Structure 1
Amino acid sequence: MGQETGDKKNLNNVKNFLAVLAGKGGVGKSTVAHGLAQAFHRKGFRVGVLDADIYGPSSSYLLPPDTFPKVKGEKVLPAISGGIKTLSAAHFPRGKRASVVRAPIATQIVSQFIEEVKWGDLDFLLVDFPPGTGDIQISLMQKIFFTGALVVTTPQELALLDVRKSMEMCLQMGVQMAGIVENMSYFSPPGSEEKYPLFGEGGGQKLADEFAVPLLAEIPIHPNPDIFDTLVGKLSLGKNECEIKQEDRYHFSIRWVDGKKSLYRFSDLQSHCPCVKCKEKAPLTHVEGEKIIPVGSYGVQVIFSKGCSKGIYPFSLLRKLG
């Protein structure tokens, strides 16, 4: 799916955007993202990797650059590593040491990576998300129309606590989950087919059952490239949009990417208008909906028959109301 927003025309020639996220650090998310990028490249696809982890960038280690980023006019050309385009905070001087920046500045840097980098023609742009479910992660999902999200976890229950939050974020932001990868699933000694689950078993399958998404791979502690080649073959990337439908003059519905359908009354929705002027107003009755305008992968704006139509209703709010 191409990117159509005016300030991100440099992404128009990217066919698929794949988020790789975990919500938790230390689960090997970056290793999976870069292994998957190399597998796509081996199969002949044009691939790029955006390392969005400002505080702990690892792309320059996992994909050592043959050429570094270059400035061309008002745009930046990404680094190249073995034919894969990549950009990371580690490619710049600040990346040589621990990055200590406040969250708004980190979010601004990620926005620049999206809006000022000329990625060119790509079949896949993989976005390696930082840990957490805060401003940076939400901004990424607002600014990029992801074709799908690949969720990485490890087997133990402690990891599932944070990974589950990232999956809930995908649902709230309207991003389709392509599946789950369980990393560090087991250890196999060299030359042996025995599998030793050092960190427990079943975590990935538990999340897959809970969120009704496929468990695509169980990756050992020391993976080989064949595992990522197999993972590429299992990925099924479809449309990421929620299905928004006006049922009648007074109601509309959203069918979410996980299959759940929510029904809304226009007058009830207007009573939750997030704009400042509506905070103290009494709700109106018999309000009809004249037009529903999707706002990227963030939410919707509704033109009502009367009252305020200025508010933008994020999918996170709509999910709760539904």
Structure 2
Amino acid sequence: MNTKHVIAIASGKGGVGKSTISANLAVSLARLGKNVALVDLDIYGFSIPKMFSITAKPKTFNGKIIPVEAEGVKIMSMGFLIKGNEPVVWRGPMLGKMIEHFTRDVIWGELDYMILDLPPGTGDIALDMHHYIPQSKEIIVTTPHPTATHVAERAGVMAQKANHDILGVIENMSYFTPPGSEEKYALFGKGGGEKLAEILSTDVIAQLPIEALSDDAEVTAIYKEDSILYMQYKQLAEKIDQLLMG
């Protein structure tokens, strides 16, 4: 795997927007001209193909998989390997084999960044990722809510125990600003990201707002140029690139 930087996006619980952040960070890095891969390691709860509206399946060449490309990002997901929306009913040992399969049996080419969308929590996938990809750095995702922060702490501590560098904390759903207003409403409370960053001895590298969608808007997980979050993710990608590339 010829990759300069591997970044795992982790969270303590589901529903905090981890996969949305993984997808948009990958796209924003690609928009900076970087060679980027996105690996959907949420084997049971894969969502990346749906977020990109991908219907194509990966092809093979000499026994290796050619990843699907969308928005300038090379993508691999369990969702490409099953029929429709069927559930994945596997036990732990098989999960580790998929991580190895996705990282070693896919033709990624030379990459600047590989983004790993981890499942929430501290289960088998996270353990196997630490084993197979020891050079990975991590970003911990939370919301401002105290419960999300409390649970996310476990994912951060796990990263530290595996001797993985934590690049920072992303606080998602930090606030909501109604259209035409500059007022910020903290719908899920305040201070969760800062508290988590303090516990993990790192920094909050982004506080991402909730963005309102109009009734006729195209509902997509990839934010377009006319959206508030487009610029937020552009700034996040630039910050991460500066941190890692110098």
Q: Deviations over 1:134-168 (max 9, x none)?
A: 22111111111335211110111111222101101
Query: Which residue, 168, 179, 182 being the options, matches 2:157?
Result: 168
Q: Deviations over 1:230-269 (max 9, x none)?
A: 111222138xxxxxxxxxxxxxxxxxxxxxxxxxxxxxxx
Which residue number in structure 1 is paired with residue 9 of structure 2?
20
Residue 59, structure 1, aligned to residue 48, structure 2: yes
SS of equivalent to 1:104: helix
Q: Which amino acid is the alignment partner of residue 224 of structure 1?
A: L
Q: Deviations over 1:164-187 (max 9, x none)?
A: 011011111010000000001111
SS of equivalent to 1:87: strand
* Residues 1:66 and 1:84: Cα distance change in structure 2 (over 3 Å): farther
Kindly indicate whether the alpha-carbon contact (under 8 Å) linking 2:42 and 2:119 is maintained by their aligned counterparts in 1. Answer: yes
CA distance in 2, matches of 1:41, 1:134: 30
Q: Which amino acid is the alignment partner of residue 146 of structure 1?
A: Q
> Structure 2-normalised TM-score?
0.87
Residue ranges of structure 1 left out of the alignment (5+ in a row):
1-10, 239-322
Residue ranges of structure 2 left out of the alignment (5+ in a row):
212-227
Q: State the 1:128 CA deviation.
A: 0.4
Q: Which amino acid is the alignment partner of residue 227 of structure 1?
A: Q
Root mean square deviation, CA, Å: 1.6
Q: Which amino acid is the alignment partner of residue 169 of structure 1?
A: M
Residue 150, structure 1, aligned to residue 166, structure 2: no
Which residue number in structure 2 is paired with residue 78 of structure 1?
67
Kindly indicate whether the alpha-carbon contact (under 8 Å) linking 2:59 and 2:65 is maintained by their aligned counterparts in 1. Answer: yes
Which residue number in structure 2 is paired with residue 233 of structure 1?
238
CA distance in 1, matches of 2:17, 2:199: 22
Higher relative contact order (CA 8 A, sep 6+): 2
Which residue number in structure 1 is paired with residue 25 of structure 2?
36
SS of equivalent to 2:244: coil
Which residue number in structure 2 is paired with residue 277 of structure 1?
none
Following TM superposition, where does structure 1 have runs of at least 4 consecutive aligned residues deviating by more than 4 angstroms? none
CA distance in 1, matches of 2:68, 2:143: 30
* Residues 1:146 and 1:65: Cα distance change in structure 2 (over 3 Å): farther
CA distance in 1, matches of 2:98, 2:136: 23
| Structure having the higher Rg | 1
CA distance in 2, matches of 1:94, 1:171: 37
Q: How many residues get paired?
A: 227
Q: Deviations over 1:200-253 (max 9, x none)?
A: 110000011122101011101125210001111222138xxxxxxxxxxxxxxx
* Residues 1:111 and 1:95: Cα distance change in structure 2 (over 3 Å): farther
